[in-house]
Amino acid sequence: MPKEQCSIITIFGGSGDLARRKLYPSLYQLFRRGVLGEHFAVIGTARRPWTNEFYREIVAGSLENEPNTSADAVQRFASHFYYQSHDVTDADHYVTLKNLSNKLDEQYGAGGNRLFYMAMAPRFFGTIASHIRSEKLLSPSGYNRLIIEKPFGRDFASAKELNDSIGAAFNEDQIYRIDHYLGKEMVQGLLALRFTNPLLTPIWNKDYISDVQITLSENVGVEERAGYYETAGALRDMVQNHIMQLIAYVAMRQPDTFTPEAVHAAKNELFANLPVLTPEQAKRDWVRGQYVAAGDQPAYREEDGVASDSQIETYVAGRIMLSDSRWAGVPFYVRTGKRMPRKATEISINFKPLEHNIFDAVGCNEARSNRLTVFVEPEQGYTLTLNGKTMGSEYALRQDPLSFRYPQDKIDEAPEAYERLIQDALMGDQTNFTRWQEQDATWKYVDVVRQAWDDDAPLATYAAGSHGPAEADQLLERDGFKWAEEFD
Ligand code: NAD
Protein backbone atom coordinates (compact mmCIF):
# COMPACT_ATOMS: atom_id res chain seq x y z
CA MET A 1 0.00 0.00 0.00
CA PRO A 2 1.52 3.35 -0.96
CA LYS A 3 1.93 5.94 1.76
CA GLU A 4 -1.22 7.92 2.28
CA GLN A 5 -1.11 11.37 0.73
CA CYS A 6 -2.31 14.43 2.61
CA SER A 7 -3.38 17.49 0.68
CA ILE A 8 -5.90 20.22 0.06
CA ILE A 9 -6.61 19.94 -3.65
CA THR A 10 -8.14 23.01 -5.29
CA ILE A 11 -9.63 22.47 -8.72
CA PHE A 12 -10.20 25.63 -10.75
CA GLY A 13 -12.98 24.62 -13.15
CA GLY A 14 -14.68 22.13 -10.82
CA SER A 15 -17.91 22.12 -12.83
CA GLY A 16 -16.20 21.47 -16.18
CA ASP A 17 -15.97 18.54 -18.51
CA LEU A 18 -12.39 17.57 -17.63
CA ALA A 19 -13.15 17.57 -13.91
CA ARG A 20 -16.18 15.33 -14.33
CA ARG A 21 -14.81 12.96 -16.94
CA LYS A 22 -11.25 12.54 -15.70
CA LEU A 23 -10.40 14.19 -12.39
CA TYR A 24 -13.18 12.94 -10.11
CA PRO A 25 -12.97 9.34 -11.36
CA SER A 26 -9.17 9.40 -10.99
CA LEU A 27 -9.34 10.85 -7.49
CA TYR A 28 -11.92 8.22 -6.58
CA GLN A 29 -9.64 5.40 -7.70
CA LEU A 30 -6.78 6.92 -5.69
CA PHE A 31 -9.12 7.02 -2.69
CA ARG A 32 -10.16 3.41 -3.26
CA ARG A 33 -6.52 2.31 -3.45
CA GLY A 34 -5.64 4.17 -0.28
CA VAL A 35 -3.32 6.68 -1.97
CA LEU A 36 -5.78 9.25 -0.75
CA GLY A 37 -6.86 8.23 2.73
CA GLU A 38 -8.69 10.48 5.12
CA HIS A 39 -6.27 13.42 5.21
CA PHE A 40 -7.41 15.21 2.08
CA ALA A 41 -10.13 17.57 0.91
CA VAL A 42 -11.01 18.83 -2.55
CA ILE A 43 -12.25 22.35 -3.17
CA GLY A 44 -14.05 22.68 -6.48
CA THR A 45 -14.38 26.19 -7.83
CA ALA A 46 -16.39 27.60 -10.73
CA ARG A 47 -18.72 30.50 -11.29
CA ARG A 48 -22.00 28.75 -10.57
CA PRO A 49 -23.53 29.21 -7.10
CA TRP A 50 -23.61 25.55 -6.02
CA THR A 51 -23.90 24.16 -2.51
CA ASN A 52 -21.55 21.53 -1.12
CA GLU A 53 -24.41 19.02 -1.23
CA PHE A 54 -25.13 19.69 -4.89
CA TYR A 55 -21.44 19.53 -5.74
CA ARG A 56 -21.10 16.18 -3.98
CA GLU A 57 -24.00 14.87 -6.06
CA ILE A 58 -22.16 16.01 -9.20
CA VAL A 59 -19.00 14.27 -8.01
CA ALA A 60 -20.90 11.07 -7.16
CA GLY A 61 -22.72 11.26 -10.51
CA SER A 62 -19.41 11.41 -12.36
CA LEU A 63 -18.56 7.97 -10.93
CA GLU A 64 -21.59 6.18 -12.36
CA ASN A 65 -19.57 4.21 -14.91
CA GLU A 66 -16.51 3.68 -12.73
CA PRO A 67 -15.50 0.15 -11.79
CA ASN A 68 -15.20 -0.87 -8.14
CA THR A 69 -17.65 1.59 -6.67
CA SER A 70 -20.01 1.03 -3.78
CA ALA A 71 -22.59 3.48 -2.49
CA ASP A 72 -20.76 3.64 0.83
CA ALA A 73 -17.32 4.29 -0.69
CA VAL A 74 -18.70 6.93 -3.07
CA GLN A 75 -20.46 8.68 -0.23
CA ARG A 76 -17.33 8.64 1.96
CA PHE A 77 -15.27 9.90 -0.96
CA ALA A 78 -17.73 12.68 -1.89
CA SER A 79 -17.84 13.88 1.73
CA HIS A 80 -14.28 15.21 1.20
CA PHE A 81 -15.51 17.64 -1.51
CA TYR A 82 -16.35 21.30 -0.94
CA TYR A 83 -17.60 23.82 -3.42
CA GLN A 84 -16.62 27.47 -3.58
CA SER A 85 -18.29 29.77 -6.09
CA HIS A 86 -15.45 31.73 -7.59
CA ASP A 87 -14.76 34.30 -10.26
CA VAL A 88 -11.12 33.96 -11.21
CA THR A 89 -10.76 37.70 -11.73
CA ASP A 90 -12.05 38.69 -8.27
CA ALA A 91 -9.25 39.05 -5.69
CA ASP A 92 -11.65 38.77 -2.75
CA HIS A 93 -12.67 35.30 -3.87
CA TYR A 94 -9.09 34.10 -3.41
CA VAL A 95 -9.11 35.30 0.18
CA THR A 96 -12.25 33.22 0.73
CA LEU A 97 -10.49 30.26 -0.89
CA LYS A 98 -7.45 30.70 1.30
CA ASN A 99 -9.55 30.76 4.46
CA LEU A 100 -11.46 27.67 3.37
CA SER A 101 -8.18 25.87 2.54
CA ASN A 102 -6.76 26.67 5.97
CA LYS A 103 -9.94 25.55 7.71
CA LEU A 104 -10.06 22.27 5.79
CA ASP A 105 -6.36 21.71 6.36
CA GLU A 106 -6.97 21.82 10.09
CA GLN A 107 -10.10 19.69 9.85
CA TYR A 108 -8.48 16.95 7.73
CA GLY A 109 -4.90 17.16 8.95
CA ALA A 110 -3.56 17.90 5.46
CA GLY A 111 -0.14 18.95 6.78
CA GLY A 112 -0.12 22.31 5.01
CA ASN A 113 0.08 20.65 1.57
CA ARG A 114 -1.59 22.34 -1.39
CA LEU A 115 -2.22 21.01 -4.87
CA PHE A 116 -3.75 23.46 -7.35
CA TYR A 117 -5.28 22.08 -10.54
CA MET A 118 -6.03 24.42 -13.44
CA ALA A 119 -8.87 22.68 -15.26
CA MET A 120 -10.03 25.80 -17.10
CA ALA A 121 -9.39 27.57 -20.36
CA PRO A 122 -5.69 28.54 -20.56
CA ARG A 123 -6.47 32.26 -20.86
CA PHE A 124 -7.25 32.20 -17.12
CA PHE A 125 -4.05 30.49 -15.97
CA GLY A 126 -1.97 33.65 -15.61
CA THR A 127 -4.72 35.48 -13.69
CA ILE A 128 -5.17 32.56 -11.31
CA ALA A 129 -1.44 32.19 -10.70
CA SER A 130 -0.94 35.88 -9.99
CA HIS A 131 -3.87 35.90 -7.54
CA ILE A 132 -2.59 32.76 -5.83
CA ARG A 133 0.58 34.70 -5.18
CA SER A 134 -0.87 38.14 -4.36
CA GLU A 135 -3.58 36.77 -2.05
CA LYS A 136 -1.05 34.42 -0.44
CA LEU A 137 -2.73 31.10 -1.11
CA LEU A 138 0.59 29.32 -1.06
CA SER A 139 1.07 27.38 2.12
CA PRO A 140 4.07 28.35 4.23
CA SER A 141 4.35 24.87 5.78
CA GLY A 142 3.77 21.91 3.38
CA TYR A 143 4.28 21.66 -0.35
CA ASN A 144 2.68 23.84 -3.04
CA ARG A 145 2.20 22.22 -6.44
CA LEU A 146 0.44 23.26 -9.60
CA ILE A 147 -1.00 20.90 -12.20
CA ILE A 148 -1.63 22.63 -15.48
CA GLU A 149 -3.49 21.30 -18.50
CA LYS A 150 -2.71 21.39 -22.14
CA PRO A 151 -2.78 23.35 -24.38
CA PHE A 152 0.34 25.04 -23.03
CA GLY A 153 0.19 28.02 -25.38
CA ARG A 154 -0.54 28.08 -29.11
CA ASP A 155 2.96 29.04 -30.24
CA PHE A 156 6.31 29.80 -28.62
CA ALA A 157 5.43 33.41 -27.75
CA SER A 158 2.13 32.58 -26.01
CA ALA A 159 3.67 29.55 -24.26
CA LYS A 160 6.45 31.76 -22.92
CA GLU A 161 4.00 34.38 -21.75
CA LEU A 162 1.98 31.68 -19.99
CA ASN A 163 5.10 30.19 -18.47
CA ASP A 164 6.27 33.57 -17.21
CA SER A 165 2.88 34.21 -15.64
CA ILE A 166 2.70 30.92 -13.75
CA GLY A 167 6.40 31.27 -12.94
CA ALA A 168 5.56 34.39 -10.95
CA ALA A 169 3.87 32.15 -8.36
CA PHE A 170 5.44 28.71 -8.80
CA ASN A 171 8.97 27.45 -9.33
CA GLU A 172 9.71 24.94 -12.07
CA ASP A 173 9.97 22.14 -9.51
CA GLN A 174 6.42 22.93 -8.36
CA ILE A 175 4.85 22.90 -11.84
CA TYR A 176 3.35 19.68 -13.21
CA ARG A 177 2.49 20.22 -16.89
CA ILE A 178 0.16 17.45 -18.02
CA ASP A 179 0.74 15.55 -21.22
CA HIS A 180 -1.54 12.62 -20.61
CA TYR A 181 0.34 10.45 -23.11
CA LEU A 182 3.12 10.31 -20.53
CA GLY A 183 0.63 8.67 -18.18
CA LYS A 184 -0.10 5.81 -20.56
CA GLU A 185 1.09 2.35 -19.58
CA MET A 186 2.96 1.51 -22.78
CA VAL A 187 4.60 4.93 -23.02
CA GLN A 188 6.06 4.39 -19.57
CA GLY A 189 6.72 0.78 -20.56
CA LEU A 190 8.77 1.90 -23.55
CA LEU A 191 11.57 2.94 -21.19
CA ALA A 192 11.57 -0.53 -19.61
CA LEU A 193 11.79 -2.13 -23.05
CA ARG A 194 14.60 0.14 -24.18
CA PHE A 195 16.74 0.17 -21.07
CA THR A 196 16.48 -3.32 -19.59
CA ASN A 197 16.91 -5.60 -22.61
CA PRO A 198 20.46 -6.44 -23.70
CA LEU A 199 18.82 -7.56 -26.93
CA LEU A 200 17.64 -4.01 -27.66
CA THR A 201 19.71 -1.47 -25.71
CA PRO A 202 22.98 -1.82 -27.66
CA ILE A 203 21.31 -1.67 -31.07
CA TRP A 204 19.04 1.30 -30.39
CA ASN A 205 20.86 3.73 -32.70
CA LYS A 206 21.55 4.73 -36.29
CA ASP A 207 23.82 1.73 -36.91
CA TYR A 208 20.93 -0.70 -36.56
CA ILE A 209 17.74 1.31 -36.96
CA SER A 210 16.67 2.48 -40.41
CA ASP A 211 13.61 4.53 -39.49
CA VAL A 212 11.06 5.11 -36.76
CA GLN A 213 7.35 5.59 -37.35
CA ILE A 214 4.81 7.00 -34.93
CA THR A 215 1.08 6.95 -35.64
CA LEU A 216 -1.59 8.61 -33.48
CA SER A 217 -4.86 8.15 -35.31
CA GLU A 218 -8.43 8.83 -34.36
CA ASN A 219 -11.49 7.54 -36.15
CA VAL A 220 -13.75 10.30 -34.84
CA GLY A 221 -14.09 13.73 -36.40
CA VAL A 222 -13.87 17.03 -34.57
CA GLU A 223 -16.88 16.16 -32.34
CA GLU A 224 -17.92 19.08 -30.07
CA ARG A 225 -14.46 20.66 -30.07
CA ALA A 226 -14.72 22.70 -33.28
CA GLY A 227 -14.38 26.01 -31.41
CA TYR A 228 -10.97 24.99 -30.06
CA TYR A 229 -9.89 22.92 -33.03
CA GLU A 230 -10.50 25.69 -35.54
CA THR A 231 -7.87 27.75 -33.72
CA ALA A 232 -5.47 24.85 -33.23
CA GLY A 233 -5.33 22.11 -35.88
CA ALA A 234 -3.53 18.80 -35.67
CA LEU A 235 -0.01 20.24 -35.58
CA ARG A 236 -0.62 22.23 -32.40
CA ASP A 237 -3.09 19.75 -30.91
CA MET A 238 -1.03 16.57 -31.27
CA VAL A 239 2.46 17.11 -32.65
CA GLN A 240 3.95 19.80 -30.40
CA ASN A 241 3.02 17.82 -27.30
CA HIS A 242 2.14 14.11 -27.55
CA ILE A 243 4.16 13.20 -30.63
CA MET A 244 7.22 15.15 -29.51
CA GLN A 245 7.06 13.47 -26.09
CA LEU A 246 6.88 10.05 -27.76
CA ILE A 247 9.88 10.91 -29.91
CA ALA A 248 11.77 11.85 -26.76
CA TYR A 249 11.03 8.50 -25.11
CA VAL A 250 12.05 6.64 -28.27
CA ALA A 251 15.21 8.62 -29.00
CA MET A 252 16.67 10.10 -25.83
CA ARG A 253 19.90 8.64 -24.52
CA GLN A 254 19.75 6.38 -21.50
CA PRO A 255 19.22 8.58 -18.42
CA ASP A 256 21.93 8.14 -15.80
CA THR A 257 19.35 6.95 -13.28
CA PHE A 258 15.59 6.66 -13.24
CA THR A 259 14.92 9.96 -11.49
CA PRO A 260 12.94 12.98 -12.74
CA GLU A 261 16.14 15.04 -13.01
CA ALA A 262 18.02 12.43 -15.02
CA VAL A 263 15.08 11.67 -17.33
CA HIS A 264 14.49 15.35 -18.04
CA ALA A 265 18.21 15.94 -18.61
CA ALA A 266 18.17 13.21 -21.27
CA LYS A 267 15.01 14.65 -22.83
CA ASN A 268 16.45 18.15 -22.87
CA GLU A 269 19.51 16.94 -24.73
CA LEU A 270 17.29 15.24 -27.25
CA PHE A 271 15.09 18.27 -27.82
CA ALA A 272 18.18 20.41 -28.20
CA ASN A 273 18.81 18.24 -31.26
CA LEU A 274 15.58 19.17 -32.98
CA PRO A 275 16.84 20.84 -36.14
CA VAL A 276 16.09 24.44 -37.02
CA LEU A 277 14.19 24.03 -40.28
CA THR A 278 14.17 26.49 -43.13
CA PRO A 279 10.68 27.25 -44.54
CA GLU A 280 11.61 25.17 -47.60
CA GLN A 281 12.57 22.18 -45.46
CA ALA A 282 9.38 22.56 -43.45
CA LYS A 283 7.26 22.50 -46.62
CA ARG A 284 9.21 19.55 -47.99
CA ASP A 285 9.09 17.44 -44.81
CA TRP A 286 5.62 18.22 -43.49
CA VAL A 287 2.26 17.45 -45.08
CA ARG A 288 -1.06 18.80 -43.89
CA GLY A 289 -4.44 17.48 -44.88
CA GLN A 290 -8.12 17.92 -44.24
CA TYR A 291 -10.80 15.25 -44.54
CA VAL A 292 -13.48 15.48 -47.19
CA ALA A 293 -16.82 13.68 -47.21
CA ALA A 294 -16.84 9.95 -47.95
CA GLY A 295 -19.75 7.52 -47.61
CA ASP A 296 -21.90 8.70 -44.72
CA GLN A 297 -19.04 10.66 -43.12
CA PRO A 298 -19.20 14.44 -43.58
CA ALA A 299 -16.34 16.68 -44.64
CA TYR A 300 -14.54 18.63 -41.91
CA ARG A 301 -15.96 21.82 -43.40
CA GLU A 302 -19.48 20.45 -42.92
CA GLU A 303 -18.99 19.70 -39.20
CA ASP A 304 -20.82 21.84 -36.63
CA GLY A 305 -18.89 25.00 -35.79
CA VAL A 306 -16.39 24.68 -38.64
CA ALA A 307 -15.99 27.47 -41.22
CA SER A 308 -17.06 26.42 -44.71
CA ASP A 309 -13.68 27.58 -46.05
CA SER A 310 -11.59 26.37 -43.08
CA GLN A 311 -7.90 25.89 -43.79
CA ILE A 312 -7.32 23.99 -40.55
CA GLU A 313 -5.49 20.69 -40.91
CA THR A 314 -7.12 17.58 -39.46
CA TYR A 315 -4.13 15.48 -40.48
CA VAL A 316 -0.38 15.96 -40.27
CA ALA A 317 2.50 13.81 -41.40
CA GLY A 318 6.10 14.78 -40.99
CA ARG A 319 9.67 13.63 -41.23
CA ILE A 320 12.01 14.67 -38.44
CA MET A 321 15.78 14.27 -38.80
CA LEU A 322 17.40 14.75 -35.40
CA SER A 323 20.75 16.46 -35.45
CA ASP A 324 22.09 14.00 -32.88
CA SER A 325 25.06 11.91 -33.96
CA ARG A 326 23.38 8.78 -32.57
CA TRP A 327 20.49 9.28 -34.97
CA ALA A 328 22.23 10.78 -38.00
CA GLY A 329 20.39 9.77 -41.14
CA VAL A 330 17.47 8.09 -39.34
CA PRO A 331 14.12 9.61 -40.28
CA PHE A 332 11.40 9.77 -37.64
CA TYR A 333 8.12 9.68 -39.55
CA VAL A 334 5.08 10.82 -37.62
CA ARG A 335 1.43 11.09 -38.52
CA THR A 336 -1.76 11.96 -36.74
CA GLY A 337 -5.24 12.62 -37.96
CA LYS A 338 -8.94 12.58 -37.40
CA ARG A 339 -11.36 10.33 -39.28
CA MET A 340 -8.75 7.73 -40.01
CA PRO A 341 -9.74 4.04 -40.18
CA ARG A 342 -9.37 3.37 -36.47
CA LYS A 343 -8.16 4.80 -33.18
CA ALA A 344 -4.63 3.71 -32.51
CA THR A 345 -1.30 4.82 -31.11
CA GLU A 346 1.59 2.74 -32.41
CA ILE A 347 5.35 3.13 -32.57
CA SER A 348 7.34 1.07 -35.08
CA ILE A 349 11.09 0.72 -34.91
CA ASN A 350 12.39 -0.62 -38.21
CA PHE A 351 15.82 -2.22 -38.05
CA LYS A 352 18.30 -2.19 -40.92
CA PRO A 353 18.77 -5.34 -43.00
CA LEU A 354 22.01 -7.29 -42.64
CA GLU A 355 24.70 -6.11 -45.02
CA HIS A 356 25.54 -9.67 -45.93
CA ASN A 357 22.93 -12.40 -45.94
CA ILE A 358 24.23 -15.91 -46.77
CA PHE A 359 20.87 -16.93 -48.14
CA ASP A 360 20.79 -14.30 -50.88
CA ALA A 361 23.42 -16.10 -52.97
CA VAL A 362 21.33 -19.27 -53.07
CA GLY A 363 18.19 -17.50 -54.22
CA CYS A 364 16.54 -17.59 -50.84
CA ASN A 365 15.96 -13.89 -50.51
CA GLU A 366 12.76 -13.52 -48.53
CA ALA A 367 14.53 -12.14 -45.43
CA ARG A 368 13.00 -8.88 -44.23
CA SER A 369 14.21 -6.26 -41.81
CA ASN A 370 13.25 -6.83 -38.20
CA ARG A 371 10.63 -4.60 -36.73
CA LEU A 372 9.58 -3.84 -33.19
CA THR A 373 6.13 -2.32 -32.88
CA VAL A 374 4.93 -0.95 -29.57
CA PHE A 375 1.14 -0.85 -29.33
CA VAL A 376 0.22 1.98 -26.98
CA GLU A 377 -3.55 1.88 -27.47
CA PRO A 378 -6.10 0.43 -27.76
CA GLU A 379 -4.09 -2.80 -27.78
CA GLN A 380 -1.23 -2.64 -25.29
CA GLY A 381 1.90 -4.67 -25.85
CA TYR A 382 4.53 -5.22 -28.52
CA THR A 383 5.48 -7.37 -31.46
CA LEU A 384 8.98 -8.20 -32.65
CA THR A 385 9.12 -9.63 -36.14
CA LEU A 386 11.93 -12.08 -36.89
CA ASN A 387 12.88 -14.11 -39.94
CA GLY A 388 12.65 -17.87 -39.68
CA LYS A 389 12.52 -20.88 -41.93
CA THR A 390 9.33 -22.27 -43.35
CA MET A 391 8.63 -25.78 -42.13
CA GLY A 392 9.52 -28.60 -44.53
CA SER A 393 12.30 -29.82 -46.74
CA GLU A 394 12.38 -26.73 -48.93
CA TYR A 395 14.64 -23.96 -47.63
CA ALA A 396 12.56 -20.79 -47.67
CA LEU A 397 12.24 -17.92 -45.19
CA ARG A 398 9.22 -16.46 -43.48
CA GLN A 399 8.52 -13.68 -40.97
CA ASP A 400 7.31 -14.73 -37.54
CA PRO A 401 5.88 -12.19 -35.12
CA LEU A 402 6.75 -12.65 -31.45
CA SER A 403 3.86 -10.89 -29.80
CA PHE A 404 2.96 -9.89 -26.31
CA ARG A 405 -0.33 -8.20 -25.43
CA TYR A 406 -1.63 -7.33 -22.02
CA PRO A 407 -4.94 -9.15 -21.52
CA GLN A 408 -8.01 -6.93 -21.56
CA ASP A 409 -8.85 -7.61 -17.91
CA LYS A 410 -5.39 -6.33 -16.88
CA ILE A 411 -5.85 -3.24 -19.06
CA ASP A 412 -9.24 -2.62 -17.46
CA GLU A 413 -7.74 -2.92 -13.97
CA ALA A 414 -4.69 -0.73 -14.64
CA PRO A 415 -4.84 2.90 -13.54
CA GLU A 416 -5.92 5.36 -16.19
CA ALA A 417 -3.39 8.01 -17.34
CA TYR A 418 -4.89 10.82 -15.24
CA GLU A 419 -4.95 8.61 -12.16
CA ARG A 420 -1.24 7.83 -12.53
CA LEU A 421 -0.35 11.46 -13.15
CA ILE A 422 -2.35 12.86 -10.24
CA GLN A 423 -0.75 10.23 -8.01
CA ASP A 424 2.69 11.27 -9.28
CA ALA A 425 1.91 14.92 -8.52
CA LEU A 426 0.76 14.00 -5.02
CA MET A 427 4.01 12.04 -4.56
CA GLY A 428 6.10 14.92 -5.96
CA ASP A 429 7.40 12.89 -8.90
CA GLN A 430 7.83 15.07 -12.00
CA THR A 431 9.18 12.35 -14.29
CA ASN A 432 6.05 12.05 -16.40
CA PHE A 433 5.32 15.75 -16.75
CA THR A 434 6.82 18.18 -19.19
CA ARG A 435 9.37 20.84 -18.35
CA TRP A 436 9.54 24.33 -19.74
CA GLN A 437 12.69 23.60 -21.79
CA GLU A 438 10.75 20.88 -23.60
CA GLN A 439 7.90 23.27 -24.36
CA ASP A 440 10.38 25.89 -25.48
CA ALA A 441 12.18 23.60 -27.93
CA THR A 442 9.11 21.87 -29.36
CA TRP A 443 7.16 25.08 -29.89
CA LYS A 444 10.10 26.65 -31.69
CA TYR A 445 10.28 23.65 -34.03
CA VAL A 446 6.54 23.54 -34.66
CA ASP A 447 6.26 27.31 -35.18
CA VAL A 448 8.51 27.09 -38.24
CA VAL A 449 6.26 24.47 -39.81
CA ARG A 450 3.14 26.45 -38.99
CA GLN A 451 4.64 29.63 -40.41
CA ALA A 452 5.74 27.90 -43.61
CA TRP A 453 2.23 26.53 -44.08
CA ASP A 454 0.60 29.87 -43.34
CA ASP A 455 2.86 31.62 -45.86
CA ASP A 456 2.18 29.25 -48.67
CA ALA A 457 1.72 25.50 -48.64
CA PRO A 458 -0.99 23.32 -50.09
CA LEU A 459 -3.65 21.80 -47.87
CA ALA A 460 -4.02 18.24 -49.13
CA THR A 461 -7.31 16.38 -48.79
CA TYR A 462 -8.14 12.82 -47.80
CA ALA A 463 -11.36 10.87 -47.78
CA ALA A 464 -12.90 10.57 -44.30
CA GLY A 465 -12.15 7.05 -43.06
CA SER A 466 -8.96 6.70 -45.12
CA HIS A 467 -5.29 6.61 -44.06
CA GLY A 468 -4.63 10.22 -45.02
CA PRO A 469 -3.53 12.06 -48.14
CA ALA A 470 -1.35 10.47 -50.82
CA GLU A 471 1.26 13.17 -50.11
CA ALA A 472 1.92 11.50 -46.74
CA ASP A 473 2.79 8.23 -48.48
CA GLN A 474 5.06 10.11 -50.89
CA LEU A 475 6.95 11.57 -47.91
CA LEU A 476 8.23 8.06 -47.15
CA GLU A 477 8.43 6.76 -50.71
CA ARG A 478 10.87 9.56 -51.45
CA ASP A 479 13.28 7.92 -48.97
CA GLY A 480 12.49 4.37 -50.07
CA PHE A 481 10.20 3.59 -47.10
CA LYS A 482 6.53 3.00 -46.55
CA TRP A 483 4.22 3.28 -43.57
CA ALA A 484 4.20 0.18 -41.35
CA GLU A 485 1.47 -2.15 -42.48
CA GLU A 486 0.44 -3.05 -38.90
CA PHE A 487 -1.76 -0.02 -38.97
CA ASP A 488 -3.60 -1.08 -42.12
P1 NAD B 1 -15.10 23.38 -19.62
O2 NAD B 1 -15.49 24.55 -20.44
O3 NAD B 1 -15.98 22.19 -19.57
O4 NAD B 1 -14.93 23.86 -18.10
C5 NAD B 1 -14.39 25.12 -17.76
C6 NAD B 1 -14.58 25.41 -16.28
O7 NAD B 1 -14.13 26.74 -16.00
C8 NAD B 1 -16.03 25.34 -15.80
O9 NAD B 1 -16.03 24.77 -14.51
C10 NAD B 1 -16.44 26.84 -15.71
O11 NAD B 1 -17.45 27.10 -14.78
C12 NAD B 1 -15.13 27.44 -15.26
N13 NAD B 1 -15.04 28.88 -15.57
C14 NAD B 1 -15.08 29.49 -16.79
N15 NAD B 1 -14.93 30.82 -16.66
C16 NAD B 1 -14.75 31.08 -15.33
C17 NAD B 1 -14.52 32.26 -14.56
N18 NAD B 1 -14.42 33.48 -15.12
N19 NAD B 1 -14.36 32.12 -13.23
C20 NAD B 1 -14.45 30.91 -12.63
N21 NAD B 1 -14.67 29.76 -13.31
C22 NAD B 1 -14.83 29.84 -14.64
O23 NAD B 1 -13.61 23.00 -20.04
P24 NAD B 1 -12.89 21.58 -19.93
O25 NAD B 1 -13.22 20.76 -21.12
O26 NAD B 1 -13.14 21.00 -18.59
O27 NAD B 1 -11.35 21.98 -20.11
C28 NAD B 1 -10.60 22.60 -19.08
C29 NAD B 1 -9.13 22.65 -19.50
O30 NAD B 1 -8.65 21.33 -19.69
C31 NAD B 1 -8.90 23.38 -20.81
O32 NAD B 1 -7.62 23.98 -20.73
C33 NAD B 1 -8.85 22.24 -21.82
O34 NAD B 1 -8.12 22.59 -22.96
C35 NAD B 1 -8.15 21.18 -21.01
N36 NAD B 1 -8.39 19.82 -21.44
C37 NAD B 1 -9.63 19.30 -21.41
C38 NAD B 1 -9.84 17.98 -21.79
C39 NAD B 1 -11.19 17.34 -21.70
O40 NAD B 1 -11.26 16.13 -21.89
N41 NAD B 1 -12.24 18.07 -21.43
C42 NAD B 1 -8.76 17.21 -22.25
C43 NAD B 1 -7.49 17.78 -22.28
C44 NAD B 1 -7.32 19.09 -21.87
Report pLDDT digits (tens) over 298-310: 999 999 999 999 9
Annotated catalytic, 242? Answer: yes
Residue-wise pLDDT tens digits, 42-77: 999 999 999 999 999 999 999 999 999 999 999 999
Pocket-testing residue among 116, 120, 152, ligand 1, by greatest number of atoms within 8 A of Cβ: 120
Three-class secondary structure of residue 260 per DSSP: helix
Residues 100 and 238 in one domain: no
Residues 227 and 83 in one domain: no
Q: For the chain, report the end-to-end CA distance as a whole number of angstroms.
A: 42
For strands 315-321 and 209-217, give the pairing: unpaired
Is residue 175 one of the residues assigned to a domain? Answer: no
Q: Using 50, 70 and 90 to split pLDDT, how confident is the model at 3?
A: low
Is residue 159 one of the residues assigned to a domain? Answer: no
Amino acid at 342: R
Measured from the CA of 46, which atom of ligand 1 is nearest?
Answer: 21
Residues 104 and 244 in one domain: no
Residues 83 and 203 in one domain: no
| C-beta atoms surrounding 232 within 10 Å | 17
Residues 276 and 134 in one domain: no
Residues 450 and 378 in one domain: yes
φ, ψ dihedrals at 142, nearest 5°:
-80, -155
Q: Is the pLDDT of residue 108 over 50?
A: yes
Is residue 200 one of the residues assigned to a domain? Answer: yes
Q: Is the pLDDT of residue 6 over 80?
A: yes
Ligand 1 centroid to Cα of residue 119, in Å, is 5
Is residue 487 one of the residues assigned to a domain? Answer: no
Residues 116 and 252 in one domain: no
Q: Is 149 in the pocket of ligand 1 (CB under 6 A)?
A: yes
Is residue 22 one of the residues assigned to a domain? Answer: yes
Is residue 275 one of the residues assigned to a domain? Answer: yes
Please give the mean pLDDT across all residues of the chain: 95
Q: Whose CA is nearest to atom 4 of ligand 1?
A: 16
Among 97, 131, 149, residue at a domain's last position: 149
* Residue burial 179-196, b: 16+ Cβ < 10 Å; e: rest: bbbbbbbbbebbbebbee
Ligand 1 centroid to Cα of residue 227, in Å, is 13
Q: Using 50, 70 and 90 to split pLDDT, how confident is the model at 408?
A: very high
Residue-wise pLDDT tens digits, 447-463: 999 999 999 889 999 99
Is residue 431 one of the residues assigned to a domain? Answer: yes
Q: Is 236 in the pocket of ligand 1 (CB under 6 A)?
A: no
Mean pLDDT of 179-188: 98
Ligand 1 centroid to Cα of residue 375, in Å, is 31
Choice among 242, 264, 356, 467 that is catalytic: 242
Residue-wise pLDDT tens digits, 328-367: 999 999 999 999 999 999 999 999 999 888 988 888 878 8
Mean pLDDT of 401-406: 97
Owning domain of residue 83: 5-149
Mean pLDDT of 26-31: 98
Residues 29 and 119 in one domain: yes
**pLDDT recorded at residue 2:** 45
Residues 216 and 99 in one domain: no
CATH number of the structural domain spanning residue 138: 3.40.50.720
Mean pLDDT of 204-227: 96
Q: Is 121 in the pocket of ligand 1 (CB under 6 A)?
A: yes
Claim: this prediction has a pTM higher than 0.85:
yes
Residues 124 and 202 in one domain: no
Is residue 17 one of the residues assigned to a domain? Answer: yes
**Rounded Cα gap, residues 479 and 376, in angstroms:** 26
The domain tally of the chain equals 2
| C-beta atoms surrounding 38 within 10 Å | 12
**Rounded Cα gap, residues 11 and 43, in angstroms:** 6
Decide: residue 375, CB within 10 A, 0-12 exposed, 13-18 middle, 19+ buried.
buried
Residues 431 and 387 in one domain: yes
Residues 130 and 274 in one domain: no
